[in-house]
Amino acid sequence: MALPKKNDKEKFLKNNRLKELFSKAERIDNNLWQVLQEIGNSYNELSKNYDAIAQRLLMDILHDKKIKDKIHSARYRIKDKKAYR
């Protein structure tokens, strides 16, 4: 895994208002930035399946005989991972 650029880290912390909190947390685990990057990479990999899972759940709900007549409409969305707000 390629290490992130320092500017990426600074931009992420600033845009997400985490600079002060991150510096305190980093004293506990000096690999914190690497852990956050691994979480982001894991989310990117796993999120490829989220749309299919959400569609399947929605279809299961809409076809449930006990509740299908009580639902007027339904929709879903998968939140994007945003490195910067």
pLDDT one-digit tens code per residue, 64-81:
988 888 888 888 888 877
Cα gap 68→25, rounded to integer Å: 47
pLDDT one-digit tens code per residue, 25-84:
988 988 999 998 898 888 888 888 999 999 999 999 889 988 888 888 888 888 877 644
Q: Residue 45 carries which DSSP code?
A: H
Q: Is 57 helix (H, G, I), strand (E, B) or coil?
A: helix
Question: pTM for this structure?
Answer: 0.56
